[in-house]
A and B are shown apart, each in its own frame.
Chain A
Amino acid sequence: MFFEYLINNQAEILRMIIQHLFLFSVSTMIAIISGIFISIISTLEGYEKFGRVLLTVSGMAQAVPSIAVVALVFLVVGIGMKPAIIALIIYSIVPIIFNTSSGLLSVNAKTIEAARGVGFTNNQILWKIKMPIASPVIIAGIRSAATINIGTATIASLIGGGGLGDLIFIGIKLQKHHITIIGAVLTALIAIIVDISLQAAGKKIIPRGLAIVTK
């Protein structure tokens, strides 16, 4: 039954997968870039207070259910692919901001002082000291944002975002469970693959000296 459905509708399913990946990757990329940017700005020296406020707010915001965000965006922006992407950005930027700002704020003040003391400029302190030291936490944030995003993207189908969510909801509406299951399994597979690749990427990015901590 599954295979029959898959084979008969392969073109359509492939289109949904691509659409899903598009929703996910565009929203995640934008969330990563803007989330990290916002976190860097708000944790700059002298603005740490702002960073701590942001940290608290983003910590609380993580408790908001995804469907609520999707519904709110629908009310404000309407229906279609664009609103779906906006909803996904808003929802996935939260863990990125939370982790990035907490990572940056937790870099030891003595380490930063030593760097400044030997002649690192503010920019060099950010990119050569703070970001690498915070990288394990930042990458953990990106990983959870990415996996959450793949799941949330199915809900985005409710406001016309398309993707594998369509398959799941069609299955529910028509009471054809195999269709729902195909949609759910494909979504889960994408999430697993993305998470494994991000984990592998993380291992390359995170400096070795920091990985020793876990041993």
Chain B
Amino acid sequence: MIELKNLTRKYGKKIAVNKLNMTMDKHRITMLIGPSGCGKTTTLKMINRLIESTEGDIIINGESIYNLDAVQLRRSIGYVIQEIGLFPHMNVFDNIAAVPRLLQWNEKKIKSRVEDLLDLVTLNTSYMYKYPLQLSGGESQRVGLARALAADPEILLMDEPFGAIDPINRAKLHESFMSIQEKIKKTIVFVTHDINEAIKLGDKIAILKNGDLIQHDNVNNILYEPENEFVEKLLGHDRNIKALVLKKNKDYIQRDGFLVVKRGEKPEKVLDLITAAGKKSALAVDSEGRFEGEFFTRISKHTKELRLEFNDEIVSLEKNGNLQETLSLMIETGESIMPVTSNKNNFEGIINLNDIFSELGSGEK
């Protein structure tokens, strides 16, 4: 737990951070967001004393950080900045080993720690001897995260870590970041200027403006009970759509109202089943229940008979995905009903576009 008490930073007469009082919960992600110059980065850097406060106090686990040596404090807190922060003259191994070496761990322990961390951030051990210049933006960021986690700090400070990464890779990094956090449960303070990122990753969001804390609450409350016009503007007009990111596919799965058949079934029987149910298609699974595709009927132009065809290129939704991704996928593919699968491609049910619409319409919570 990190407590900011009357935290103030002035530059001459200019107030960068003004009497900030807030508590960052243990094992949770607190997002600091606001326009540039709002004091979010200054606040973050005061926590590891890269910037000293003018007034006020920061208390971590009951102790003021000003009672600790700044260098020792920093070694106990993970710090991630944009990809450029990797040491260019050190390979991946040495970058990750940097803090353990400062803490004088023995090399054997360091090696196994580096291997574990590479595994955690889903990088192959062959990356160990690559240099930062040989890495892509996403890979660098994974290494940056591994370096920050090297000495297993309780707190992680992240300063726009995904800011320099293209949207597609950023979405991937978000996914893996969230699954990593599920495992490691760190107390994370995360600075961003991207409201979508804040909503997607944050447990709580703190909104700052000109050094003042405007609102600090969990993501739901921020979305549905914005403190004032400034917060509303920051959230944008489409905040109901943004809120979809918080809704998981698995909570909207329908398990009936559609037909499921085995892929290996005889075509005549499938055709009978479809017509008997008054449908035009049926979803197909294999004998293990894995999703295979869709049978659909079509009237032949020449013979005017009903024919059965199969489409194995049906896009399925990931059970743990969120409704916002589902909505954009539906718009992209033009499908109003899509199958949902678990991570091993086991068929779970379907999601109907109408359910997403009614979720949007219901608005409040």
Contacts and interface: CB of A to CB of B under 8 A. Distances in A.
Interface of A: 108, 110-111, 113-121, 124, 129, 132-133, 207-210, 212-213
B38 interface: no
A108 B134 CA distance: 18
28 contacts: A110-B81, A110-B84, A110-B85, A111-B86, A111-B87, A113-B50, A113-B85, A114-B81, A114-B85, A114-B86, A117-B50, A117-B81, A117-B85, A118-B78, A118-B98, A119-B74, A119-B76, A119-B102, A124-B102, A133-B88, A133-B89, A207-B89, A208-B91, A208-B131, A209-B90, A209-B131, A210-B89, A212-B133
B99 A132 contact: no
B193 interface: no
Contact of B72 (A113, A119, A133, A212): A119
Given A118-B98, A118-B147, A119-B102, A212 B89 contact: no
A124 B104 CA distance: 14
Interface string B319-337: 0000000000000000000
A207 B91 CA distance: 10
Interface string B65-92: 0000001111110110110111111110
Nearest to B129: A208
Interface string B97-139: 0110010000000000000000000000000000111100000
Contact of A119 (B71, B85, B87, B157): B71
Majority SS at the chain A contact face: helix
Contacts of A115: 87, 98
A210 B134 CA distance: 11
Given A111-B85, A212-B133, A118 B74 contact: yes
Nearest to A212: B133
A118 B79 contact: yes
A115 to B, nearest CB: 7
Nearest to A124: B102
A207 B79 contact: no
A117 B102 contact: no
B48 interface: yes
A94 B232 CA distance: 59
Which 3 pairs, one residue from A and one from B, show the smallest C-beta to C-beta distance? A114-B85, A119-B75, A209-B131
Contacts of A212: 131, 133-134
A117 B74 CA distance: 6
Contacts of B75: 118-119
B148 interface: yes
Contact of A114 (B87, B91, B102): B87
Interface string B129-161: 001111000000000000110000000010000
A63 B137 CA distance: 42
Given A121-B71, A124-B102, A207-B89, A113 B81 contact: yes
Nearest to A215: B133
Given A111-B84, A118-B148, A209-B89, 19 more contacts: A111-B87, A113-B81, A114-B81, A114-B85, A114-B87, A116-B74, A117-B85, A118-B74, A118-B75, A118-B99, A119-B73, A119-B102, A124-B102, A129-B87, A133-B88, A208-B91, A209-B91, A210-B88, A212-B133
Nearest to B73: A119
A117 B79 contact: yes
A116 to B, nearest CB: 6
A3 B79 CA distance: 68
Nearest to A110: B84
A113 B79 CA distance: 10
Contacts of A210: 88-89
Nearest to A134: B89
Contacts of B73: 119
Contacts of A133: 87-89
Which interface residue of B72, B75, B81, B88 has the most chain A CB atoms within 10 A?
B88
Contacts of B78: 118
Contacts of B157: 117
Which interface residue of B84, B85, B99 has the most chain A CB atoms within 10 A?
B85
B71 A132 contact: no
A130 to B, nearest CB: 10
A61 B147 CA distance: 43
Contacts of B48: 117
Contacts of B82: 110
A210 B87 CA distance: 10
A111 B50 contact: no
Contacts of B86: 111, 114
Interface string B55-73: 0000000000000000111
A120 B103 CA distance: 10
B85 to A, nearest CB: 3
A209 B95 CA distance: 11
A209 B102 contact: no
